Chains A and B, each alone.
Chain A
Amino acid sequence: MASTPTPGTALAALSDPVRRDILAALGPDEATVSQLVARLAISQPQVSKHLAVLREAGLVRVRPAGKWRWYSVDGAALEQVVRWLERFSATVNERLDRLDDVVAEIEEGRA
């Protein structure tokens, strides 16, 4: 742990739909593994495995308290990654919308 995760690691962590569900289930609050298991209806080993990936990616933090371990989203880290993805996606979309216009002209026999 403790090494600074690369944005690529964070992006890869977000590529899995179950991990996105876990982040959404955590929301702005803290939760234990058993609470997440109950909310998401997936097995405890699955939740633990995905939480470990999210922690290594720097997207989730853990706070030990007595016998419990409380997990929460690192909002700043997540926001940064989602912002990258959104901005990049906007750039890709601008370009592909122009491609669409060119393709339409080809279909109409005008290009």
Chain B
Amino acid sequence: MTTRADRKGSAKVAPVSETAYEIERKFDASAGSVFRALTEPELIKRWWGYEDSEWLDCQADLREGGYWRNSLRGDGYVVSFHGRYREIQRPHRLVHTEVYEGAPGGGPDVDEPLTLITTELVEDGGVTTLRAHVECYAPEVMQAVFDSGMESGLQVSYDRLEEVLAGA
């Protein structure tokens, strides 16, 4: 029996092309519960941001073509993303675009998506597997996305490369 604690840190992130990567993570929950957490603002606010950030805006007009926006303020920065829902099949599939408002020329009304995210939730025996395919519109976007993860400051020594590659 897998306990919830065992799933901490279990998300797998893997590049699948020059412009796309995939995330996979299992949850001991129904697809319906995961779908709610992904799409209801009061729930989104509790996991999407960073530990120390203050929410400025969280909207999710869950209809095809509907607008969503997450904006938060941390220690000396404001990070805002928005986009539109392209496809909604509750509780198994969600397709949405994502625009980073901090990009040059970006803003809440600018509609030039950087990424198209397809999320699939497959429930089996009380366990739901979330698989997100993130398609970036250019290799440079993919680089920027990965660079944004640099903040957590994890060190990987050369000795561990083989181990990391074997498990990647």
Contacts A7-B143, A101-B47, A104-B4 given: A87-B154 contact, CB under 8 Å? yes
Binding site of A, secondary structure by majority: helix, strand, loop or mixed?
A: helix
Contacting pair A94 B168 (CB below 8 A): no
Query: What 0/1 readout, one digit per residue, does chain A (68-111) give for beta carbons within 8 Å of chain B?
Result: 00000001001100111111111111111111111110110001
Contacting pair B166 A15 (CB below 8 A): no
Q: Which of B106-130 contact A (CB under 8 A)?
A: 130
B residues with CB within 8 A of A:
4, 7-19, 21, 23, 25, 27-30, 33-34, 36-38, 43, 46-48, 130, 136, 139-140, 142-143, 145-154, 156, 158, 161-162, 164-166, 168
A residues with CB within 8 A of B:
6-9, 11-12, 14-15, 20, 23-24, 27, 75, 78-79, 82-104, 106-107, 111
| 19 A-B contacts (beta carbon < 8 Å) | A8-B139, A9-B139, A15-B17, A79-B156, A82-B168, A85-B15, A87-B151, A87-B152, A88-B148, A93-B8, A95-B48, A96-B47, A98-B46, A99-B27, A101-B47, A102-B47, A103-B27, A103-B37, A107-B33
